[in-house]
Amino acid sequence: MQKDIATPVRTKEIMEKYGFSFKKSLGQNFLIDPNVLRNITENAGLTKETGVIEIGPGIGALTEHLARTAKKVVAYEIDQRLLPILADTLSPYENVKVIHEDVLKADINQMIDEEFADVKDIMVVANLPYYVTTPIILKLLEKNLPIRGIVVMLQKEVGDRIAAKPGTKEYGSLSIAIQYYTTAETVMIVPKSVFIPQPNVDSAVIRMLLRESPAVSVKNERFFFNIAKMSFAQRRKTLMNNLTSGLPDGKKRKSEIADALDAAGIEPSRRGETLSMGEFGTLSDALFPIFGNSE
């Protein structure tokens, strides 16, 4: 078997061979521990029937582990300097395709139609750059892709927020946005010492498996997410205060907000972090007939 890319010696050799230097603006941190990569691959539940979408393959450390386990890997890489390196490091694997494109601008549905036409099981697996973690995950979920789930390594703090439960300080609108579509859990903590260059914080591997239908049924999804966001605008403030500040003409229409809270069976003095997903759904549905059209 091909010698692992993800070792300090091999990573250094590859970088020296190509004179590669890290770009801070692209959030590049390369993993140098094959055990972590094996763990990520295992947690994604890949088989020879699985198609994998990878984002930011770097020099191919995770890509090769995915290629050994899955049917096919399509990797999006934004940094042109890495293309010749990937062509070299991944040359032993015929089931890998690298696309030079920003995943945030890519038509992923079209790519899936073209590259995974004969694949029933699709997973997204990636070591995401810290600075674009949230937009990437939300794009993947909002585009209604035919995927089973997403397993990503990201900043531990963001991972904590994604998997957070109501009543905790990490719980917020990001927890709700992601848990609306998926069941999310932390499967592994990864110390900063297994990367070069070493980031300032530890990472976490989060597994998000898509729900068959959203966690709650709401009248209007966009309005529901906006109400959740508003409710956490100032965490120390009560729901009543946050909604009064956030909704159009909220200060003048305080009594209507109070009526909606009453109809939803939610005390105005509660804080956003105490509400379950179901309660946010009930609240958003109570407010929608009053404020939905002024969004």
- Percent of the chain past pLDDT 70, that is, above it, reads 96
Closest Cα partner for 281 from 208, 210, 213, 223? 223
User: What span, in angstroms and rounded, lies between the C-alpha atoms of 188 and 39?
Assistant: 8
pLDDT of 129 reads: 80
pLDDT of 70 reads: 98
Mean model confidence pLDDT for the chain: 93
Band of residue 24 on the pLDDT scale cut at 50, 70, 90: low
pTM of the model: 0.93
User: What span, in angstroms and rounded, lies between the C-alpha atoms of 217 and 114?
Assistant: 32
Which whole number is the average pLDDT over 253-273? Answer: 96
Which whole number is the average pLDDT over 70-98? Answer: 95
Is 46 annotated as a binding-site member?
no
CATH domain 8-210 topology: Rossmann fold (3.40.50)
Band of residue 25 on the pLDDT scale cut at 50, 70, 90: low
Is 77 annotated as a binding-site member?
yes
Domain over 221-294 is classified CATH 3.40.50.150: no
Is 275 annotated as a binding-site member?
no
Is 200 annotated as a binding-site member?
no
Band of residue 22 on the pLDDT scale cut at 50, 70, 90: low
pLDDT of 3 reads: 78
Residue 218 pLDDT > 60:
yes
Which whole number is the average pLDDT over 212-236? Answer: 96
Band of residue 71 on the pLDDT scale cut at 50, 70, 90: very high
Domain edges within the chain: 8-210, 221-294
Is 31 annotated as a binding-site member?
yes
Which whole number is the average pLDDT over 39-51? Answer: 97
pLDDT of 26 reads: 59
